[in-house]
Amino acid sequence: MEEDLEKFDLACTYLKNDQNMTAHNMFMDLAQKEMKNNNYRAGLYLILASECKSKQGKEKKDELAEAAKFYLKLAKKDKHNSNYAYQCAARCFLRIGRYDDARKAFEEAQKYTIELVEEKRPIVLVDDSPAILLRLESFLQQLGYDDIQTVDDGKSALDLITKLVKSKQNPIILLDMDLPDIKGDVIAKTLLESKPDLSIILITADEKSTPRVRKTIGFGSTAFVQKPFSINELKNALDATRLSEIK
Protein backbone atom coordinates (compact mmCIF):
# COMPACT_ATOMS: atom_id res chain seq x y z
CA MET A 1 0.00 0.00 0.00
CA GLU A 2 2.79 2.45 0.91
CA GLU A 3 4.58 1.59 -2.34
CA ASP A 4 1.41 2.37 -4.32
CA LEU A 5 1.01 5.70 -2.51
CA GLU A 6 4.59 6.64 -3.40
CA LYS A 7 3.97 5.62 -7.02
CA PHE A 8 0.81 7.74 -7.09
CA ASP A 9 2.71 10.77 -5.74
CA LEU A 10 5.42 10.25 -8.35
CA ALA A 11 2.87 9.93 -11.17
CA CYS A 12 1.24 13.20 -10.05
CA THR A 13 4.66 14.87 -10.12
CA TYR A 14 5.26 13.63 -13.68
CA LEU A 15 1.81 14.92 -14.71
CA LYS A 16 2.52 18.32 -13.15
CA ASN A 17 5.85 18.49 -15.01
CA ASP A 18 4.21 17.59 -18.35
CA GLN A 19 5.90 14.19 -18.50
CA ASN A 20 2.53 12.93 -19.59
CA MET A 21 3.34 9.56 -21.16
CA THR A 22 5.29 8.41 -18.11
CA ALA A 23 2.50 9.61 -15.82
CA HIS A 24 -0.11 7.88 -18.01
CA ASN A 25 1.67 4.54 -17.83
CA MET A 26 2.04 4.75 -14.06
CA PHE A 27 -1.62 5.66 -13.54
CA MET A 28 -2.66 2.76 -15.79
CA ASP A 29 -0.47 0.32 -13.85
CA LEU A 30 -2.08 1.49 -10.59
CA ALA A 31 -5.55 1.24 -12.13
CA GLN A 32 -5.05 -2.32 -13.36
CA LYS A 33 -3.91 -3.41 -9.90
CA GLU A 34 -6.86 -1.78 -8.12
CA MET A 35 -9.37 -3.08 -10.66
CA LYS A 36 -8.37 -6.61 -9.69
CA ASN A 37 -9.20 -5.70 -6.09
CA ASN A 38 -12.50 -4.00 -7.03
CA ASN A 39 -11.17 -0.83 -5.39
CA TYR A 40 -12.80 2.51 -6.24
CA ARG A 41 -9.36 4.10 -6.57
CA ALA A 42 -9.05 2.34 -9.93
CA GLY A 43 -11.61 4.73 -11.40
CA LEU A 44 -9.65 7.74 -10.19
CA TYR A 45 -6.44 6.38 -11.69
CA LEU A 46 -8.15 5.80 -15.05
CA ILE A 47 -9.53 9.34 -15.05
CA LEU A 48 -6.07 10.72 -14.29
CA ALA A 49 -4.64 8.59 -17.10
CA SER A 50 -7.21 10.14 -19.43
CA GLU A 51 -6.03 13.60 -18.39
CA CYS A 52 -2.49 12.62 -19.34
CA LYS A 53 -3.76 11.73 -22.82
CA SER A 54 -5.67 15.02 -23.03
CA LYS A 55 -2.57 17.05 -22.17
CA GLN A 56 -0.79 15.34 -25.06
CA GLY A 57 -3.60 16.33 -27.40
CA LYS A 58 -4.62 12.70 -27.79
CA GLU A 59 -8.03 11.05 -27.58
CA LYS A 60 -8.96 10.11 -24.00
CA LYS A 61 -12.14 8.13 -24.64
CA ASP A 62 -10.63 4.70 -24.01
CA GLU A 63 -9.60 5.41 -20.41
CA LEU A 64 -12.89 7.13 -19.52
CA ALA A 65 -14.93 4.36 -21.14
CA GLU A 66 -12.96 1.80 -19.13
CA ALA A 67 -13.58 3.81 -15.94
CA ALA A 68 -17.32 3.96 -16.68
CA LYS A 69 -17.44 0.20 -17.30
CA PHE A 70 -15.56 -0.40 -14.05
CA TYR A 71 -17.95 1.81 -12.04
CA LEU A 72 -20.96 -0.01 -13.52
CA LYS A 73 -19.43 -3.30 -12.41
CA LEU A 74 -18.96 -1.96 -8.87
CA ALA A 75 -22.50 -0.58 -8.80
CA LYS A 76 -23.87 -4.08 -9.27
CA LYS A 77 -21.49 -5.70 -6.77
CA ASP A 78 -21.48 -3.09 -3.99
CA LYS A 79 -25.11 -2.27 -3.20
CA HIS A 80 -24.21 0.04 -0.29
CA ASN A 81 -22.46 2.38 -2.75
CA SER A 82 -24.50 1.82 -5.91
CA ASN A 83 -25.69 5.43 -6.07
CA TYR A 84 -22.12 6.72 -5.96
CA ALA A 85 -20.81 4.18 -8.48
CA TYR A 86 -23.62 4.80 -10.99
CA GLN A 87 -23.11 8.56 -10.78
CA CYS A 88 -19.36 8.15 -11.35
CA ALA A 89 -20.16 6.07 -14.42
CA ALA A 90 -22.61 8.74 -15.64
CA ARG A 91 -19.97 11.46 -15.33
CA CYS A 92 -17.45 9.40 -17.31
CA PHE A 93 -19.99 8.74 -20.05
CA LEU A 94 -20.85 12.45 -20.22
CA ARG A 95 -17.21 13.40 -20.71
CA ILE A 96 -16.94 11.20 -23.80
CA GLY A 97 -20.29 12.17 -25.28
CA ARG A 98 -22.15 8.92 -24.59
CA TYR A 99 -25.27 10.75 -23.44
CA ASP A 100 -27.72 7.85 -23.56
CA ASP A 101 -25.43 5.72 -21.43
CA ALA A 102 -24.96 8.64 -19.02
CA ARG A 103 -28.73 9.05 -18.68
CA LYS A 104 -29.24 5.34 -18.02
CA ALA A 105 -26.53 5.32 -15.35
CA PHE A 106 -27.99 8.41 -13.70
CA GLU A 107 -31.47 6.86 -13.67
CA GLU A 108 -30.06 3.73 -12.03
CA ALA A 109 -28.39 5.92 -9.38
CA GLN A 110 -31.72 7.46 -8.41
CA LYS A 111 -33.13 4.06 -7.48
CA TYR A 112 -30.69 3.88 -4.57
CA THR A 113 -30.91 7.47 -3.28
CA ILE A 114 -33.83 7.07 -0.88
CA GLU A 115 -32.53 3.82 0.55
CA LEU A 116 -29.11 5.32 1.31
CA VAL A 117 -30.38 8.61 2.73
CA GLU A 118 -32.75 6.85 5.13
CA GLU A 119 -30.23 4.23 6.17
CA LYS A 120 -29.58 4.18 9.93
CA ARG A 121 -25.89 3.62 10.58
CA PRO A 122 -24.02 3.15 13.85
CA ILE A 123 -21.09 5.40 14.68
CA VAL A 124 -18.12 3.90 16.50
CA LEU A 125 -15.93 6.27 18.54
CA VAL A 126 -12.41 4.99 19.20
CA ASP A 127 -10.36 7.09 21.63
CA ASP A 128 -8.59 6.43 24.93
CA SER A 129 -9.47 9.88 26.32
CA PRO A 130 -12.79 9.95 28.25
CA ALA A 131 -12.98 13.71 27.67
CA ILE A 132 -12.66 13.34 23.90
CA LEU A 133 -15.25 10.55 23.86
CA LEU A 134 -17.70 12.71 25.80
CA ARG A 135 -17.06 15.67 23.50
CA LEU A 136 -17.56 13.55 20.39
CA GLU A 137 -20.69 11.91 21.73
CA SER A 138 -22.19 15.28 22.71
CA PHE A 139 -21.46 16.79 19.29
CA LEU A 140 -22.88 13.76 17.48
CA GLN A 141 -26.08 13.87 19.51
CA GLN A 142 -26.46 17.55 18.65
CA LEU A 143 -26.03 16.63 14.99
CA GLY A 144 -28.85 14.08 15.24
CA TYR A 145 -26.95 10.80 15.56
CA ASP A 146 -28.28 8.37 18.16
CA ASP A 147 -26.64 4.97 17.52
CA ILE A 148 -23.23 5.79 19.04
CA GLN A 149 -20.87 3.16 20.43
CA THR A 150 -17.58 3.91 22.17
CA VAL A 151 -14.37 1.94 22.81
CA ASP A 152 -11.05 3.09 24.29
CA ASP A 153 -8.50 0.67 22.84
CA GLY A 154 -7.55 -0.82 19.49
CA LYS A 155 -8.40 -4.45 20.16
CA SER A 156 -11.91 -3.60 21.31
CA ALA A 157 -12.31 -1.39 18.25
CA LEU A 158 -11.32 -4.17 15.86
CA ASP A 159 -13.63 -6.66 17.59
CA LEU A 160 -16.64 -4.31 17.59
CA ILE A 161 -16.21 -3.01 14.05
CA THR A 162 -15.64 -6.51 12.65
CA LYS A 163 -18.84 -7.64 14.37
CA LEU A 164 -20.82 -4.70 12.94
CA VAL A 165 -19.49 -5.26 9.43
CA LYS A 166 -20.34 -8.97 9.55
CA SER A 167 -23.90 -8.04 10.58
CA LYS A 168 -24.15 -5.66 7.56
CA GLN A 169 -24.54 -2.52 9.71
CA ASN A 170 -22.03 -0.41 7.71
CA PRO A 171 -20.61 1.72 10.57
CA ILE A 172 -18.89 5.10 10.42
CA ILE A 173 -15.70 5.02 12.51
CA LEU A 174 -14.12 8.02 14.22
CA LEU A 175 -10.64 6.73 14.94
CA ASP A 176 -7.97 8.23 17.19
CA MET A 177 -4.45 7.76 15.82
CA ASP A 178 -2.77 7.38 19.24
CA LEU A 179 -4.24 4.42 21.12
CA PRO A 180 -2.43 2.62 23.96
CA ASP A 181 -2.27 -0.85 22.39
CA ILE A 182 -2.63 -0.60 18.59
CA LYS A 183 -1.96 2.59 16.65
CA GLY A 184 -4.75 4.04 14.56
CA ASP A 185 -2.91 3.68 11.26
CA VAL A 186 -2.55 -0.07 11.89
CA ILE A 187 -6.25 -0.35 12.76
CA ALA A 188 -7.27 1.59 9.65
CA LYS A 189 -5.08 -0.54 7.37
CA THR A 190 -6.40 -3.78 8.90
CA LEU A 191 -10.05 -2.75 8.54
CA LEU A 192 -9.71 -1.34 5.02
CA GLU A 193 -7.91 -4.43 3.77
CA SER A 194 -11.00 -6.48 4.65
CA LYS A 195 -13.57 -3.81 3.66
CA PRO A 196 -12.08 -1.14 1.33
CA ASP A 197 -15.24 1.03 1.32
CA LEU A 198 -15.43 1.30 5.12
CA SER A 199 -15.98 4.89 6.32
CA ILE A 200 -13.14 5.96 8.64
CA ILE A 201 -12.63 9.51 9.93
CA LEU A 202 -9.20 10.06 11.50
CA ILE A 203 -9.05 11.99 14.79
CA THR A 204 -5.55 13.21 15.63
CA ALA A 205 -3.43 16.10 16.88
CA ASP A 206 -1.11 15.57 13.90
CA GLU A 207 -1.09 17.85 10.88
CA LYS A 208 -2.71 16.37 7.79
CA SER A 209 0.63 16.59 5.98
CA THR A 210 2.52 14.34 8.43
CA PRO A 211 3.74 11.05 6.91
CA ARG A 212 1.61 8.68 9.01
CA VAL A 213 -1.58 10.69 8.40
CA ARG A 214 -0.86 10.85 4.65
CA LYS A 215 -0.17 7.12 4.67
CA THR A 216 -3.40 6.34 6.52
CA ILE A 217 -5.42 8.55 4.18
CA GLY A 218 -3.76 6.65 1.34
CA PHE A 219 -5.12 3.40 2.79
CA GLY A 220 -8.62 4.75 2.06
CA SER A 221 -9.73 6.80 5.07
CA THR A 222 -12.51 9.17 4.01
CA ALA A 223 -11.94 12.26 6.20
CA PHE A 224 -9.70 13.90 8.79
CA VAL A 225 -10.34 15.94 11.95
CA GLN A 226 -7.52 17.62 13.84
CA LYS A 227 -7.65 18.07 17.62
CA PRO A 228 -8.89 20.32 19.13
CA PHE A 229 -11.98 20.32 16.93
CA SER A 230 -15.31 22.15 16.81
CA ILE A 231 -18.76 20.75 16.11
CA ASN A 232 -18.64 22.36 12.65
CA GLU A 233 -15.34 20.64 11.83
CA LEU A 234 -16.82 17.31 12.90
CA LYS A 235 -19.94 17.94 10.82
CA ASN A 236 -17.81 18.81 7.78
CA ALA A 237 -15.91 15.53 8.14
CA LEU A 238 -19.16 13.55 8.39
CA ASP A 239 -20.57 15.39 5.39
CA ALA A 240 -17.41 14.66 3.41
CA THR A 241 -17.76 10.98 4.28
CA ARG A 242 -21.37 10.94 3.11
CA LEU A 243 -20.53 12.77 -0.10
CA SER A 244 -17.72 10.34 -0.89
CA GLU A 245 -20.31 7.55 -0.78
CA ILE A 246 -23.37 8.97 -2.54
CA LYS A 247 -22.60 12.07 -4.56
Q: What is the pLDDT of residues 83-132, one digit of tens each?
A: 888 988 998 998 888 999 999 998 888 887 544 444 468 899 999 888 88
Q: What is the pTM of this model?
A: 0.50
Regarding predicted confidence, which is higher, 129 or 5?
Answer: 129
pLDDT per residue as tens digits for the range 202-218:
887 766 556 666 666 66
101 and 71, same domain (yes or no): yes
49 and 111, same domain (yes or no): yes
Q: Specify the pLDDT at position 212.
A: 60
Which residues make Cβ contacts (< 8 Å) with residue 194, sequence separation at least 6? 162, 165
CATH number for position 76: 1.25.40.10
Instruction: Compute the mean pLDDT over every residue in the chain, rounded to the nearest whole number.
Output: 82
pLDDT per residue as tens digits for the range 140-159:
888 888 889 999 888 999 99
What separation in angstroms does the CA of 2 have from each of 11, 23, 128, 177, 180? 14, 18, 27, 17, 24
Where is the domain boundary, 70, 102, 117? 117
95 and 199, same domain (yes or no): no
Q: Specify the pLDDT at position 210.
A: 65
- 150: containing domain: 123-246
The radius of gyration computed from the CA coordinates of the chain, to the nearest angstrom, equals 19
Which residues make Cβ contacts (< 8 Å) with residue 231, sequence separation at least 6? 139, 142, 143
Dihedral angle of Cα 27, 30, 33, 35, to the nearest 10 degrees: -60
Query: Mean pLDDT lowest for which of 15-29, 67-81, 106-120?
Result: 106-120
Which DSSP state fits 145?
Answer: -
* Contact predicate 160/124, CB 8 Å: yes
CA dist 211 and 41 (Å) reads: 20
89 and 153, same domain (yes or no): no
75 and 33, same domain (yes or no): yes
Where is the domain boundary, 100, 117, 134? 117
